[in-house]
Every structure is written in structure tokens, then in C-alpha cells.
Amino acid sequence: MSKVAIIGTGFVGASIAFAMSIKNMANEIVLIDVNKQKALGEAMDISHGLPFIGQMSVYSGDYEDCADCDVIVITAGANRKPGETRLDLARKNVSIAKDITENIMKHYTKGVIVVVSNPVDILTYMIQKWSGLPNGKVLGTGTVLDSSRFRYLIGSKLNVDVKNVHGYIIGEHGDSQLPAWSATHIAGKNIEEYCLIPNSGFTQADKAEIAEEVKKAGAEIIKNKGATYYAIAITVNTIVETILKNQNTIRTVSSVIDGYMGIHDVTISLPSTVGADGVTNVLDLKLTAEEQALLLNSAEQVNLILKEVKSI
């Protein structure tokens, strides 16, 4: 028997629940929201389609239902408003996340906490500390979606099935993130080697354009439709699946890093093995000197915000 709690039933939380239901991901999915009517409505709406999908239970509940969950997904939080800085958003959502964490831990018995709310690196760090759980038991979605966008854009540019494209966006989920080009491969060939193939049509300018497009993708979607929720819902599903099935899949989730390339006590995204116990291993990428410098800078950008909110 598997049980998942989703805290926050806005666009993202509801889409995650819907995607999980379609995949028949867990025996129980409980939706928790300060707006109890919204949680109830979403649970009812999904439940009425379950006869076409399979046997499972989707219902609205409260923090006491976090007991015995295999995964607890946190999506609740405020959205960034025009003119608002990242620090403003961090302060606001750190306060919300602290209250959520305290309520979860009153009833917590087991499971991995997956943080989706933004700024995800900041909230993952703080929730890890507040929860008192072992390092790795709290992880953030980090750059998993950014890495998916990265692979999608490379596959589209090179006209290659995305399943044959392997690459990672690492560091902060934000402006200082970077593509690990040195660890990007097409069917086993490093992308630099692959692009020596005649007519590959992939230039340094294309690389810069893809990196920038990945970074701005979320803002572009918000400009066009007001919010992003489908791709992140699918992303969270892949993370939850690898936890529930103990698949030990490698994903660029966000977790507290201590000692990697001189990075200490800060939360960033790196390719990590994810299973039933959360993050069990962080891969040692062989980055170029330039990539290492960019990664250190990215970690420092996260650290600057952390220093401002740690006292909350």
C-alpha cells in the first residue's frame, strides 16, 4: 500500500494529483489545503474519473493524514508578483513553509518530503533543517524540469529522439543555473563529438541560445498562459514514482550539499540517485574549469538568499 500527501491544491498541486491519478501512482492520495473547499472539490473532481482508471482513493484531508505517507509533496506558497524581488518572495514563502513543516512533523511517521514551491532551493534547505530529518529525506524538484526542457530543446534542434539525449542543468533553479555541456551526450557520444558529424547544424551560438531558452521557459509560459503547471506535474510524478518504486533513478533534484567541489551547507541541484530513502548519492561530475566556476557562483547566489532568511 502506498500513500502520498499533496499540500497545496492550486494549479500545480491539483495538476500533480490529476497526473498521479492517471498513472494510478498510489493507493491513496490525500489533498491538503488551507482552503478546505478547494481541496475537497479537486478530490471529488478526480475521484469521479477513477472508475475509468483503476482502484485508488483520492480524498481531501488535513495534516494528520500525513501520518504513514511514503511521500509528502509541498506545493503551497505565494507566487512572485511583478516588481517583487526573489528575496521578497523567499521571505514570504519561508514563513509559509515553516508553518507547513511544523504541522507535517506533528504527524510525520515516515516518508520523503518533496518540495515544489519556489524558491525551491531555499525552501528545501529550510524544510530540511526545520524537519530534523536526515540529509536527503527532504529534496526539491530543483532543475529536474529545467533538465527536461534542456533535453527537449537539444533533441528538437538536432532532430534526435529525446530518449537518446542525456544532459543536465545544474546549480540553482534560477538565473545562475548552468548546463553541464561536458556531461551532455547523444546516444553515448559527447555532444561536442556528436556535432562533428557533418550537417549536424549545432553551433556554439545554438548552445548559448538553448541555455537561455531553458532559463526563460517558465517566464515565457507564464506570459502566454498565466501559470506553469503541466510539465512540473509530470516532473513531480517521475520523482514520486522513483521514490515509491525505489528505482534509484538519477535526477537533478535539489538537496543540501556539503563538501562537493568545495560547496558547503547550501542547497543546489546535481545529478543524484533518488530512491525510497530520498537522495542516497550525488554523482561526481567531471566538469570543466569554467563549469566548476559557474557552479560555485550558482551555489553562492543561493547562499546569499539563505543568509537573509535563516533567521526566520
**Which helix (H) or strand (E) covers residue 97, if one does?**
helix 86-105
- C-alpha to C-alpha distance for 44 and 304, rounded to whole angstroms: 43
User: Does the pLDDT at position 249 exceed 80?
Assistant: yes
Same domain, 209 and 112: no
Return the residue matching grid coordinates 550558482: 298
Same domain, 42 and 65: yes
Same domain, 78 and 194: no
Same domain, 148 and 111: no
In percent, how much of the chain has pLDDT > 70?
Answer: 97
- C-alpha to C-alpha distance for 244 and 278, rounded to whole angstroms: 10
- C-alpha to C-alpha distance for 243 and 232, rounded to whole angstroms: 17
Between CA 197 and CA 205, with CA 200 as vertex, the angle to 5 degrees is 120
Same domain, 284 and 176: yes
- Choose the weakest-confidence range: 134-138, 195-199, 231-235, 244-248: 195-199
Active site residues: 173
Q: What is the CATH number of the domain that holds 221?
A: 3.90.110.10
Give the model's pLDDT for residue 85: 72
Q: What is the CATH number of the domain that holds 113?
A: 3.40.50.720
Question: Of 140, 167, 194, which one is at a domain's C-terminal end?
Answer: 140
Q: How do beta strands 266-269 and 254-257 pair? A: antiparallel
Q: Are 13 and 76 within 8 A, CB to CB?
A: yes
Give the model's pLDDT for residue 156: 93
Same domain, 165 and 284: yes
pLDDT digits (tens, 9 = 90+) for 96-124: 999 999 999 999 999 999 999 999 999 99
Q: CA of 1: how far to CAs of 28, 32, 68, in Å?
A: 8, 20, 10
Same domain, 162 and 111: no
Give the rounded distance of the alpha carbon of 65 from its chain centre.
Answer: 23
Give the model's pLDDT for residue 9: 97
Same domain, 131 and 179: no
User: Does the pLDDT at position 82 exceed 80?
Assistant: no
User: Does the pLDDT at position 89 exceed 90?
Assistant: no
169 pLDDT band, cuts 50/70/90, is very high
Same domain, 11 and 107: yes
Q: In the chain, how many domains are there?
A: 2
pTM: 0.95
Q: How do beta strands 28-32 and 57-60 pair? A: parallel
Average pLDDT, the chain: 93
Question: Of 122, 140, 158, which one is at a domain's C-terminal end?
Answer: 140
Q: Which domain holds residue 131?
A: 3-140
Same domain, 126 and 153: no
Same domain, 27 and 168: no
- C-alpha to C-alpha distance for 18 and 58, rounded to whole angstroms: 10
Same domain, 162 and 175: yes
- C-alpha to C-alpha distance for 145 and 202, rounded to whole angstroms: 23
